[in-house]
Amino acid sequence: MRSSEEGVVNLDKLTYAGNLHNLASVQGDARHVFVQGDIGDSALVQRLLAEHQPRAVLNFAAESHVDRSIHGPEDFIQTNVVGTFRLLEAVRHYWQALPAIEKEAFRFLHVSTDEVYGTLAPDAPAFTEEHTCEPNSPYSASKAASDHLVRAWHHTYGLPVLTTNCSNNYGPYHFPEKLIPLMIVNALAGKSLPIYGDGRQVRDWLYVTDHCSAIRRVLEAGRLGETYNVGGWNEKPNIDIVNTVCGLLDELRPRADGQSYRAQIAYVKDRPGHDRRYAIDARKIERELAWKPAETFDTGIRKTVQWYLEHADWVANVQTGAYRDWVQTQYQSQAESPST
């Protein structure tokens, strides 16, 4: 492992779900450099690579909400496909010019999703890394395309790549358009808890810090060109997730009328092409890299609900334009500061 003093350059476009408040803990830390920008901006990426000389590039950048991809797929193509292509090209030229020792040590890690594999029958084996890509939404198709580009840049150009395909993440700072934070936020606001179809769609759930530890481990010891599935071994129907969240809120923040938050559940029309089941077989990363999740779903979901209860200001800010105004002010002041 590298020294804890090693720096990180954080390139973020700050789209609707981006929020500099999430980086408050590293504000003023010389090891962290924040740059507002797009991975599709080749000139910017090339400048950052030349200036900071990173030993690795991790590509987390993606449009990731299936519902948004159905209503506006072009953003997903631009970020997930074109953006990944331009990032790969900038990184390839940087890597090819490195001295031999640094070139050998360099890594490009691409963070992807289990949704590229498509959907599973109720009794089908979980997704392995050998499973055929069969994406069913504009989002998952765009991510599958980016995975193929990463693979091709390894096989064609020799770029030292690693790919991770994770299951549904959850935890603190999760933008409240996704299932778990949406249920928490709506429940506390007295709003309905919308459940698609019959609510029996099955997902595997991975606590966010477990995902981070898996990425660190793959970056440290993963075999070049390989894909590693990262899952939480927590395969559950959506309705069970919502009922668990409601039960925790009943315990930690009871409704004034004494009723359960489950009374707010409302079934709505299913979304087009809704995949029925995802499941991750994470034995490869455990076998090869000795990684497995530290959190159970019970421990992770309790931590998540407690975090949202304790961070009402954060939730309020991301649901309004207030945080956008703060970003503009903060970024402008940083740009004018001699220290930047």
What residues are annotated to the active site?
Answer: 114-115, 139
Q: Are 200 and 268 within 8 A, CB to CB?
A: no
Phi, psi dihedral angles at 302 (to 5 degrees)? -65, -45
Torsion angle (degrees, nearest 10) of CA 70, 148, 8, 223: 140
Phi, psi dihedral angles at 313 (to 5 degrees)? -65, -40
Residue 211: what residue type?
Answer: H
Going from the C-alpha of 324 to that of each of 317, 318, 335, 340, the distances in angstroms are: 9, 8, 16, 21
> At 57, which helix (H) or strand (E)?
strand 56-59
The whole-angstrom separation of Cα 203 and Cα 248 is 20
Cα dihedral 125, 134, 161, 55 sign: negative
Radius of gyration of the chain (CA): 21
Helices (H), 128-281: 138-157, 179-188, 208-221, 238-252
Q: Are 218 and 267 within 8 A, CB to CB?
A: no
Phi, psi dihedral angles at 179 (to 5 degrees)? -55, -60
Q: Are 109 and 215 within 8 A, CB to CB?
A: yes
First to last CA, the chain: 29
Which residues sit opposite 112 in a β-bridge?
165
Query: What is the total residue count of the chain?
Result: 340
**178: three-class secondary structure by DSSP:** coil
- Name the DSSP letter for residue 132: P
Q: Are 119 and 95 within 8 A, CB to CB?
A: no
